[in-house]
Amino acid sequence: MKELKNWLFPGIALVVFGSLLAALLLEMESVSLEMMMGVLAYSLAMTVMFISIRPKLVEPSHGLPSLYAVHGALAIVLTLSAIIHQLMYFDDFQGLAEFSLTSWAGFFGVLGFTVATLTGMFGLSSTFISKSRRLLRLKNQVFNREINLWLHRLAVIGSLGAYLHLLSFGFLRSNTLFISLASLYALIGIGGYFVYKLSLLKLPRYEITAIKRPTPTLFSLEFTPKNGQLMTYEPGQYVFVRLKNSSLPAESHPFSISSAPNDGANKLEVMIKKSGDFTNRLDELRVGDVATLEGPYGHFLDKDTKHSQVAMVLLAGGIGATPILSILRQQMKEASNRPIDLVWALAYKEDLMLLDELEAMKVKNPNFNYHFIFSDEEVAGYPFGFVTGEYLATIGLEEAYSQSRFFICGPPPMMNAVKGVLAKNGVVDERIYIEEFGF
């Protein structure tokens, strides 16, 4: 089922491609390979544009990380087909020199897609760049996220260029079915993108009503809706926060909600760790600053686990505890007595926090327990090291392998190591839930 859903958008792109090809063949005897590559690039471009608007209808079943992965894969195929199409018709830039709309629009199409795909691959996604520390450093020094985002938006110019390129051909304009279909797809892809961008202007505004510093590297922000209406969210979900009247840049960043939904207070909390260009400037935030919150997104906690009494093991690494805290707080709010173990891996003593709250949870639910482990500093009273199979055995979690559901969120090396331990001990994928802090 998981694999099947990944084929939804490639399937849509194929339908778009097939319909445009059929429309061409109704009026032509054959379609050349060159033309086919162009039609394929166009079909993919409109599909990729549509995915970029984080369609609310499919996000619940896909999740944004998987939507972005499909978006990226299709964009690579799109760019390759556009380049092949351009090379097959290459005329030594004659058309550009003579100001032909066909050449100029096509050229901007290919250029826009190429730049957007490269920035997506190496600037916005962590898939390729994170493999090389040198590239990562270069990226952070030269191309910060805002520059990458602006370059990535050249995909819109690319898509408009591709549509104009089609319109510039008389024989395509006179093929009513083809041009109607191509225009409809442009309306959904490019039009959808602009409607989405406009909808961001109407997002409800939230005021920062409290800023706390639970540890030297963390900020806990409390957001209260300015119009009185708090968004409905599930434990473990995240929002895109965009500051509006602050000295910080108005770029949108995803942060998990750490408070429990509907806890009676008309506010929600996010906890943020200083980690880069944007988050290192959070000291400049002030109570009273205003932000929009887009979302909620994500499906860390499934309905079945939420409503059942099945045992849960929550494995957090550092700031990865935020969605886990939301789940935990919601369980406590419901006065559930289900067995829950929180394993929270931290680096330094100064990272330790929320002890009073966790102690109070133990009193509320005698079947709840928490375990801290430190990896970079020996801390009196706590174990030292990483979350390994041996460590989980020492805290009595060996029995959990047979029945419990495991929720993991933390740095990728920690998540991979823990997934390895679980797999080795026979925990099936269906009982492992992963939340990643990267796309």
Location of structure tokens 């029945």? 403
CB nearer to ligand FAD: pick between 58 and 164? 58
Residue 256: CB minimum distance to ligand FAD, A: 4
Report the candidate in 414, 413, 398, 407 with the shortest Cα–Cα distance to residue 435: 407
By beta-carbon proximity to ligand FAD, the closer residue of 278 and 368 is: 278
Question: What's the distance, CA 44 to chain centroid?
Answer: 21
Please state the closest distance from residue 356 (CB atom) to ligand FAD, in A: 21
CB of 275 or CB of 337, closer to ligand FAD:
275
State the nearest-atom distance from the C-beta of 74 to ligand FAD, in Å.
Answer: 19
Provide the minimum distance between the beta carbon of 275 and ligand FAD in the complex, in angstroms, as a whole number: 5
Shortest CB 240 distance to ligand FAD, Å: 7
Closer to ligand FAD by Cβ: residue 85 or 145 = 145
Using the minimum distance from each CB to ligand FAD, give the nearer residue, 110 or 243. 243
- List contacts with ligand FAD (CB under 6 A): 126, 140, 145, 238, 251-256, 270-273, 275-279, 319, 322, 437-439
| Calpha distance 217→272 (Å, rounded) | 8
Nearest residue (beta carbon) to ligand FAD: 276
Residue with Cβ nearer ligand FAD (221 or 417): 221
Nearer to ligand FAD among residue 259 and residue 365 (C-beta): 259
Question: In 10 A of CB 179, how many CB atoms?
Answer: 17
Work out how close the CB of 255 gets to ligand FAD at its nearest, in angstroms, rounded to a whole number: 4
CB of residue 242 vs ligand FAD: minimum separation in angstroms?
9
Q: Least separation, in Å, of the C-beta of 270 and ligand FAD?
A: 6
**Residue 14 or residue 129: which is nearer to ligand FAD going by CB?**
129
